[in-house]
Amino acid sequence: KENLTRESTTTSTREAKKKAPSAFKSNVWTYFGFFNKDGTNEMDMTHGICKVCRMKIKYSGNTTNMRAHLTRHHPKIALTADGKASSESAPLKNQPTLDTLSLAKLSPNSERAKKITQSITYFICKDLRPYNIVENEGFSYMMKTLEPRYVIPSQRFFADTAVPNLYIDVKRKVEESLSTAERVALTCDAWTSRAVDSYVTITAHYLTADWQLLSYVLQTRTLHESHTGANIANLLQNAAQEWGIADKNLVVVTDNASNMTIATQLAGYLHVKCFAHTLNLASQRALNLPAVARVLGRVRRITGFFNRSTVANHALEQKQKMLQLPTHKLKTDVCTRWNSAYDMLQRFLEQQPAICAALPSPEVRKSSTDIFTLNETDIGNTEEIVRALKSMQVATTVMSEEKNPTLSLVAPLLAQLLHDTQDNIGDTALVRNIKQSISQDLKKRYASTVERNTLYTASALDPRFKTLPFLSLEERQETYARVVAEAITLQVSKHSGEEKRPPLIPAKMRKSCGLTDLLGQTYGDVGAPPKSLSATAEEEVKRYQEVTSLALTEDPLSWWKSHEEVYPFLATLAKRYLCIPGTSVSAERVFSTAGDIVTAKRSTLTSEHVDQLLFLSKNADIASLSKCV
């Protein structure tokens, strides 16, 4: 075992003729020593060992290299080491070895210790790790290897101090950012943890001054009472007050549940129904048709068998390679997500040749004798189901994107889906039934005038869809009339009731000359009355309608950022609509991670802990690590 001592007169076997200094005058030796050679009491004097960081420094009979190391890596120590040691220094042979001279522990208030504690806090929150991970053997070993001087605080410290402090700091920054928003949209949904606790998560969405779409998880609250509209309305209103957004003309996006509709009505907020949930309901109705359900059951039985049986799965992989098919795993659907059924059928059709080849093999038949592939009729029905649901699958995928505003997509997509589900010549009875069930369900959604007007206005303010081809001429005219009226109302409110014409083009300085002095009032525009807000808004809308529509692949927010000064009235209105998501998928994405941390194993987590961890997991970034310790 290697021992670290201060220098003695022992010589190194690698430098047999060289003697060590007979005395040590420099304070540098307070921080350096030598390792003993393996199995001997003889010191290896080729390298000095730093007692602070254990770095090996080449020793050549003087302290130059060691002093340089202290200056470079331990500047505070270097100041105290610069000079002579006390004459009362103990003899070298009495100096402690590594067994008795342990490295000095970092003070919890040192910058190094604070930085490590901040990093652990960020790790716990961002990756949703349990607090007790800091007391696990593996974690302790890792930290000891990385920084043996660091003392890991207890899990109680992280739960009661570090995480709450980081939460307070990040919450303050989120509140400051929210205060600059012209309008805030909220997504709200209820979920249940694996520990069977009910929660409601609220997420905020808004546009910044430079047209960045931001989303923040605001809070996750337990709902011990029944999920009535009144209770949820109270929750929404309390959240609006707590986060200082009650005056932000709130819009709430939820699923189609009646209690959510009642909640928004009681709270007095504009309500938008989640389009992804709408698509799921309509598609589930089609999947429940007897003919479709029968095919799903047969395919589910086959895919489940291959996923459960190691032998069958291995046989499938061999057939995939033989037939040069993609080595994809078969998928099994999840009852709450309709598109998982679509994915299951699509993958089954892709791997049908390999499945047919694998099932008859002797090793597979030993596992199960009653599993058979589909007959030709079933395969044909499967292909028809996939084709009939293709548009719904694409729409669901598009609505799951969060990079661009999604409310403006709802009306065009809904119109296209209704068009695609019309009967066509050549449709089989199965395809007609699927289309009819989807169409009937979609037509009863967004039925109110307020809902339709909200969707149409959002699409009109999206430069990709501003021509509104899915509406009749009369509906387009009515939509833009509402746009003009709402734009005027916003400007009146903005200018405190004073009609002021915003500068569409920066005013040019007029040069004074004799001619303008004499004839300016007669022939100039000095006395021309300014245009009214109404005339300005109508002119702006007309110019907006005349420009070429933005390509579907382009970003509407970037377009508005570069055209904000050209269409100032419409830009103000666009910020109020393009911040609204057409789906509450963003809130639901919290559940996939939220459910994992609130397990029966971690049932000791309080509701406050759950709220803080989810908030920080979604909102904290490296820049947030300033005040968590």
Which whole number is the average pLDDT over 456-473?
97
Which whole number is the average pLDDT over 606-619?
90
Which whole number is the average pLDDT over 612-619?
92
Give me the chain's average pLDDT, please. Answer: 83
Cα torsion 157, 161, 162, 168 to 10°: value is 160
Residue 420 to residue 439: CA distance in whole angstroms: 9
Residue 174 φ then ψ, to 5°: -65, -45
Residue 24 φ then ψ, to 5°: -120, 110
Ramachandran region of residue 61, left (φ > 0), alpha (ψ -120 to 50) or beta?
left
pLDDT tier at 520, thresholds 50, 70, 90 = low
**pLDDT score, position 226:** 83
pLDDT at 368 over 60: yes
Residue 543 to residue 253: CA distance in whole angstroms: 32
Using an 8 Å Cβ cutoff, are 238 and 219 in contact?
Answer: no
- Between 479 and 93, the more confident residue is 479
Residue 393 to residue 385: CA distance in whole angstroms: 12
CA dist list (Å): 121 to 171, 218, 623:
16, 19, 13
pLDDT at 331 over 60: yes
pLDDT tier at 84, thresholds 50, 70, 90 = very low
Considering the chain, what percentage of its residues have pLDDT values greater than 70?
Answer: 79
| pLDDT tens sequence across 201-259 | 999 999 999 999 999 999 999 888 788 899 999 999 999 999 999 999 999 999 888 99
**pLDDT score, position 3:** 43
Which whole number is the average pLDDT over 79-84?
52
DSSP class of residue 104?
A: P
- Which residue is listed with tokens 């522990």? 105
Which whole number is the average pLDDT over 25-54?
77
Cα torsion 461, 465, 471, 474 to 10°: value is 50
pLDDT at 274 over 70: yes
CA dist list (Å): 178 to 159, 200, 246, 301:
27, 20, 11, 50
For 284-308, give the DSSP string: HHHHTSHHHHHHHHHHHHHHHHHHH
Instruction: Select, from the ranges 10-19, 470-479, 598-607, the one with the highest average predicted confidence (pLDDT).
Output: 470-479
pLDDT tier at 98, thresholds 50, 70, 90 = very low
Radius of gyration from C-alpha coordinates of the chain: 36
Which whole number is the average pLDDT over 71-88?
59
The strands making up 32-35's β-sheet, listed across from edge to edge, are 4-5, 32-35, 47-50, 56-58
CB within 8 Å of 110: residues ≥ 6 apart: none
**pLDDT score, position 28:** 80
Residue 274 φ then ψ, to 5°: -60, 120
Residue 396 to residue 187: CA distance in whole angstroms: 17
pLDDT tier at 52, thresholds 50, 70, 90 = confident
pLDDT tier at 584, thresholds 50, 70, 90 = confident
> Residue 255 is encoded by which pair of tokens?
């699923």
According to DSSP H, which parts of 581-627 are helical?
585-597, 607-619
pLDDT at 598 over 90: no
pLDDT tier at 27, thresholds 50, 70, 90 = confident
Which whole number is the average pLDDT over 138-143?
95
pLDDT tier at 607, thresholds 50, 70, 90 = confident
End-to-end CA distance of the chain: 38
CB within 8 Å of 186: residues ≥ 6 apart: 202, 203, 204, 205, 218, 236, 239, 250, 251, 252, 253, 269
Please, is 1 exposed, middle or buried when counting C-beta atoms within 10 Å of its C-beta (0-12, 13-18, 19+)? exposed
**pLDDT score, position 13:** 37
* 114-128, 294-308, 335-349, 576-590: segment of lowest average pLDDT: 576-590
Ramachandran region of residue 497, left (φ > 0), alpha (ψ -120 to 50) or beta?
left
- Between 200 and 469, the more confident residue is 469
pLDDT at 87 over 50: no
CB within 8 Å of 361: residues ≥ 6 apart: 315
| pLDDT tens sequence across 420-455 | 999 999 899 999 999 999 999 999 999 899 999 999
Is the pTM of the predicted complex or chain greater than 0.75? yes
Residue 528 to residue 524: CA distance in whole angstroms: 8
Using an 8 Å Cβ cutoff, are 240 and 207 in contact?
Answer: no
> Residue 561 is encoded by which pair of tokens?
């950022």
pLDDT at 316 over 70: yes
- Which residue is listed with tokens 């009226």? 485
Residue 479 φ then ψ, to 5°: -65, -45
CB within 8 Å of 93: residues ≥ 6 apart: 8
Residue 579 to residue 461: CA distance in whole angstroms: 11
**pLDDT score, position 361:** 84
pLDDT at 593 over 60: no
For residue 260, give the 3-state DSSP assignment: helix
**pLDDT score, position 599:** 53
Please, is 88 exposed, middle or buried when counting C-beta atoms within 10 Å of its C-beta (0-12, 13-18, 19+)? exposed
Give the residue among 415, 340, 422 at the shortest CA–CA distance from 388: 422
For 480-547, give the DSSP string: HHHHHHHHHHHHHHHTTT------SSPPPPPPP-HHHHHHHHHHSSTTPPPPPHHHHHHHHHHHHHHS
* 210-224, 315-329, 613-627: segment of lowest average pLDDT: 613-627
Using an 8 Å Cβ cutoff, are 446 and 500 in contact?
Answer: no
| pLDDT tens sequence across 466-503 | 999 999 999 999 999 999 999 999 988 877 544 444 44
Which whole number is the average pLDDT over 281-293?
96
Q: How many residues does the chain have?
A: 629
